[in-house]
Structure 1
Amino acid sequence: MQAGIFKVCLVVVTAIVNHPLLFPNENMTLLANDEQIIQKMREREENLRSQQLQLEQLLSSVENKEENKDETNSDPKEEEPPWDFWSALSMIIFLMIEIWRQDFQDGNSQALNKEEDDLPFIGNHCQGVSLPNKAVLAIFYEQYIRVITHDVAKTREFVEGFADDLLESLRSVCNRDADMEVEDNMCVGSTYENWRVNRPLTCDLIVPFAPPEPYQFKCQPWVANQSIPPDKQGCGTIQVCGPGDEARSCVCDKTKLGEDMVCLLHNPTNKKTDNREIDLLCSKNTNLLDTHQVMKWFQSAVTKAWGKISHKYDFDLSFSHLDSPGALRVKFRSGKIISFNITPVVQFEDTDLYFISHFPSSPVSHDLSHTHWVLSFAVYEKRFLKNIAKHLPMNSCHLSCLQIMSFLHSKQCHITGTSGLSTYHLKTVLMHLILARPFTDWDVVMLEERLRDMFKSLEKCLLEKRLHHFMVGNPKLPQFVNLPEDFQYAEPLNLFRPFVLNRELYHNTLVMFYEMLRNATVLINEYSLNLPALPVNK
């Protein structure tokens, strides 16, 4: 009796161990489409199954000996259920578990098949979709891209002049002893890199700011601060250091001053402002700079600055988005509108790296806390594209590829909605591709081939859920970029990490990408004027 019960328990436990998929909640991290993992699990299952058979044989032999011994010593009136009864019961339990597991796997398989059915082009590596040929692309570029970008120079000239005047007015309305100090603006982004095509043509400017003396900012990027979690890679924190923290960097600590000499910074009689009067824009109960507080301060300061100079201009100025304090829109009496972004940033040491509260081209991320700032490489990226153009053939097609991809992405987003794919990802793919191919391959006559290469590279990155940041941890980065070594030799930063963590976002992005690929020819033909009937490349 005891041996039979023991056997039933042993078989049940063995079946459970042999089939861990009975607990789906504990296996949610398994990627169902990972064939290597599934193959390893199958091998492990076969191994455990063979061990189970060996245990059953060993147990059967032991029980036979025990039964023979019991028959000689037990009362003949007492009868036990035969051994076959326990074997049959064990087999029934085992079969029920096996059927349940198969049903579970079939359900998952159907869900996965349904998911794959939504992605008809997956695995084709862009081979099954025809892109417009050279002639169509050339006509489209001349009749659409050049038409909407011909007035970029005038727009940039106006925005830069007006931004200088607005910031000068902002400095005049701020208290220099108790408010943040605003420096000169810098022009970055797609408009100044000559590849923006989306209307309206929006200029992006960044404005460094610093706290009043004797305070200073201490920036800690993720490469230097081990306390920043992995999901905050690419970010950092900014501490606001007071006079006590700054003393260690003053020369008066290292040099003996004469009796008639005092430190102008630490002289107790030289107190510009009571500390309580200074709004340092920190997060509550911390000394960390708060992105939300900075945005509120900057929006208020811009409003005051415009009120002081509005009488000089014959147009209206308003905020485009309340979540972006520097997203401004100028509306002339003629109805013409010019949009631009002025975003406050904090400079990282003496480099061209800047901590930014959010990127103007993207919505404010709610995944980040108010004390985490995103590190912007915009100045270095602008320098790379400007200098690499000197090594490429005249009238290179690299920016044309990015413009066409950006156009297709924008139109597809209007059809299917936004996804996890942004124009910054497209720009990153292009920059990697420029260094991966010979410079001579970027001649203007190779536009179709390079455009297809961009689609292939982007598809490969999406399927692998891995797109490395172009600047961080890139050993191929040219010397003229002059990126700080801590970032150039850091661990590569995966821009597609959100796809690993968010399955729904990844699925929607893949659907959008393949729809964009499928609609490429239709959209280009639709937005081209008077296209002749041209044969498709064979």
Structure 2
Amino acid sequence: MAMGLFRVCLVVVTAIINHPLLFPRENATIPENEEEIIRKMQEHQEKLQMEQLRLEEELSRLEAEKEALRQEEVEDQQQQEPHTTWDLWSTLCMILFLIIEVWRQDHQDGTCPESLGGDEDELSGLGGIPLLGLSLPNRATLDHFYEHCIRSATGDATRTREFVEGFVDDLLEALRSVCNRNTDMEMEDFIGVGSMYENWQVERPLLCHLFVPFIPPEPYSFHPEFWCSSPSVPLERQGYGQIKVTLADGDPLGCICDKTKLGEDMLCLLHGKTRGTWPGSSGRNGEMENLLCSRESSYLDTMQVMKWFQVALTRAWHRIAHKYEFDLAFGELDTPGSLKIKFRSGKFMPFILTPVIQCDDSDLYFVTQLPKEPCMGAPASSTDWPLSFAVYERQFLRMTAKALPEGACHLSCLQIASFLLSKQSRLTGPSGLKNYHLKTALLHLLLSRQAADWKASQLDVRLQDLLCFLERSLLEKKLHHFFVGNRKVPKAMGLPEVVHRAEPLNLFRPFVLQRTLYHNTVNSFYEMLKNTPTLISEYSLHVPSDRASPPPKTVAL
């Protein structure tokens, strides 16, 4: 009985599938004349009639079998259930097979390859090669390259840090001595951040980046207001915040210039050299005063803070310049806090001092600008302060290193990738891909892979993983910030809860808005991949002398 039902179902399904009105063939051609159409319809009608006769005969036979099965029902009662189950499964499998076959026939000619990201018109113009086809040098070549071109070039990093830190200590102490403790900012001890303090810097000359936290004098206080990622926050302001200046008792913000005697050339928190006026008033020549707060606002202005900081540094250096046998000058004009020690021999030592404001009691800091690492869009206004997770990044790398095997290759992978990116930038010019993106990709890989995967013997494999991760992120135009909205970050890091709960922040969002930048970046990345085997092989033979590009213009203090 069950076998008969199966056959009936099979015939019915076959007839339905072959019905031209229900499942027309995509590759069917239109007959050239009406006679051909009529002839085919007649042939099809004859087939349907024959099929109908066969079905009627099958139903008659089934009726006869039904009578016979009634007599054997008692004898086969114990065996009927397993056979029925088997026949049912066979029927379902056959029907499923037929459905899959129909779907395959309907879609095999129309299936398009899945795009990894971006529009087709964007990716069609990218002359890249798939990363899976890239052949990296073997581990022995990578190890030799790392020892001769990277480790040897950064061997004096410790001495550089000690020299710069000693000088900055003296400079900040002089800065505190020239400031009025009652009306001026109070500078705290510096904090080392960036690749120099994370032990993966490659580019020469070695560059120390130091945060200098500052707090307002009494009775003022800072109240940070920051946004990480939220539907209510415009895209161009995600990752930024504002800093409101208030009185400690909550009274309306006012100036205390007239209440405290200021020395010559002292800068009040709210005013410049001309005192006794409030934001919006005019100075002696009708010019607006140099305020640290934005005009007509109680929010700190990044540009005004940097001007104040540079004036204070200049006065501090003039106080201690007689103690040193070198000169101090401002470095790159487009990098806030960029300074350069110029020795009489002609050599120079750059470093960066950035005034920052701590966000509550966390290790999150507001900075005036993120130097050379435009991981976000330009700020909407000068009262928007970028958020820096540099201290958290350094802490995470240190915490992770304790769990990794001895001599782990994670920093070596980052150094090699940074070296390749630096050389490619010199060949084809800078692109939208920065060292900060490389580090972010490494942090994601460290969190997703087991500690044993980072043994020194896995250098070539992990470097391949890092480059694959970057390629996929570029094609998808999506690289999430490691901390913002990443719920996999350990709670021990002590991130603010609002950062932990935020929506992920896409560092590659500028590529979505700027097609030209995106095309140049992807092309430059694939060009770097093509040059990688040759570049590593060539640099493994000898260390070139082009360690640094020509020094930028400087301004003496």
- State the TM-score, normalizing by the size of structure 2: 0.68
Is the CA contact 2:236–2:378 (under 8 Å) kept in the aligned structure 1? no
**Deviations along 1:355-379, whole A, 9 cap, x unmatched?**
0011223379755421100001111
Equivalent residue for 1:289? 300
Structure 2 residue 439 is matched with structure 1 residue 434: no
Which protein has the larger Cα radius of gyration, Structure 1 or Structure 2?
A: 2
Runs of 5+ in structure 1 lacking a partner? Answer: 1-110, 249-267, 532-538
Is the CA contact 1:291–1:357 (under 8 Å) kept in the aligned structure 2? yes
Equivalent residue for 1:201? 206
Structure 2 residue 495 is matched with structure 1 residue 483: yes
Alignment match of 2:399 (pick from 380, 384, 387): 387
Amino acid at match of 1:141: Y
What is the distance in 1 between the residues matched to 2:444 and 2:315?
43
Equivalent residue for 2:312? 301
Equivalent residue for 1:465? 477
Pairwise CA RMSD: 2.7
Is the CA contact 1:343–1:360 (under 8 Å) kept in the aligned structure 2? no
Structure 2 residue 336 is matched with structure 1 residue 328: no
Equivalent residue for 1:492? 504
Shift, 1:281, TM fit: 0.1
Is the CA contact 2:336–2:369 (under 8 Å) kept in the aligned structure 1? no
* Residues 216 and 522 of structure 1, relative CA distance in 2, 3 Å threshold: same
Q: Secondary structure at the match of 2:372?
A: coil
Q: Secondary structure at the match of 1:191?
A: helix
Alignment match of 1:187 (pick from 192, 198, 205): 192
Structure 2 residue 457 is matched with structure 1 residue 445: yes
Stretch moving more, 112-121 or 133-142:
112-121
Is the CA contact 1:319–1:326 (under 8 Å) kept in the aligned structure 2? yes
What is the distance in 2 between the residues matched to 1:112 and 1:485?
39
Alignment match of 1:222 (pick from 215, 223, 227): 227
* Residues 225 and 344 of structure 1, relative CA distance in 2, 3 Å threshold: farther
Amino acid at match of 1:195: W
* Residues 386 and 114 of structure 1, relative CA distance in 2, 3 Å threshold: closer
Structure 2 residue 419 is matched with structure 1 residue 407: yes
* Residues 224 and 467 of structure 1, relative CA distance in 2, 3 Å threshold: closer
What is the distance in 2 between the residues matched to 1:402 and 1:229?
33
Is the CA contact 1:295–1:324 (under 8 Å) kept in the aligned structure 2? no
Alignment match of 2:179 (pick from 174, 180, 186): 174
Shift, 1:115, TM fit: 6.2
* Residues 214 and 114 of structure 1, relative CA distance in 2, 3 Å threshold: closer
Equivalent residue for 2:242? 237
Structure 2 residue 353 is matched with structure 1 residue 342: yes
What is the distance in 2 between the residues matched to 1:321 and 1:117?
35
Structure 2 residue 134 is matched with structure 1 residue 134: no
* Residues 199 and 349 of structure 1, relative CA distance in 2, 3 Å threshold: same
Amino acid at match of 1:379: V
Matches within 5 A, 1:16-55: none
* Residues 224 and 459 of structure 1, relative CA distance in 2, 3 Å threshold: closer
Is the CA contact 1:211–1:280 (under 8 Å) kept in the aligned structure 2? no
Alignment match of 2:150 (pick from 142, 145, 157): 145
Q: Secondary structure at the match of 1:192?
A: helix
What is the distance in 1 between the residues matched to 2:331 and 2:490?
38
Q: Secondary structure at the match of 2:197?
A: coil
Is the CA contact 1:298–1:325 (under 8 Å) kept in the aligned structure 2? no
Is the CA contact 2:236–2:377 (under 8 Å) kept in the aligned structure 1? no
What is the distance in 1 between the residues matched to 2:229 and 2:535?
46
What is the distance in 2 between the residues matched to 1:523 and 1:196?
19
* Residues 507 and 367 of structure 1, relative CA distance in 2, 3 Å threshold: farther
Paired positions, count? 400
What is the distance in 1 between the residues matched to 2:311 and 2:232?
33
* Residues 287 and 228 of structure 1, relative CA distance in 2, 3 Å threshold: farther
Is the CA contact 1:384–1:481 (under 8 Å) kept in the aligned structure 2? yes
Shift, 1:186, TM fit: 0.5
* Residues 169 and 360 of structure 1, relative CA distance in 2, 3 Å threshold: same
Q: Secondary structure at the match of 1:467?
A: coil
What is the distance in 2 between the residues matched to 1:166 and 1:309?
7
* Residues 225 and 284 of structure 1, relative CA distance in 2, 3 Å threshold: farther
Q: Secondary structure at the match of 2:196?
A: coil
- State the TM-score, normalizing by the size of structure 1: 0.70
Matches within 5 A, 1:97-108: none
Equivalent residue for 2:519? 507
Q: Secondary structure at the match of 2:533?
A: helix
What is the distance in 2 between the residues matched to 1:358 and 1:227?
24
* Residues 421 and 368 of structure 1, relative CA distance in 2, 3 Å threshold: farther
What is the distance in 1 between the residues matched to 2:239 and 2:121?
36
* Residues 333 and 440 of structure 1, relative CA distance in 2, 3 Å threshold: same
Alignment match of 1:119 (pick from 114, 127, 130): 127
Q: Secondary structure at the match of 1:462?
A: helix
Runs of 5+ in structure 2 lacking a partner? Answer: 1-118, 262-267, 277-289, 544-557
* Residues 136 and 179 of structure 1, relative CA distance in 2, 3 Å threshold: same
Amino acid at match of 2:295: K
* Residues 117 and 494 of structure 1, relative CA distance in 2, 3 Å threshold: closer
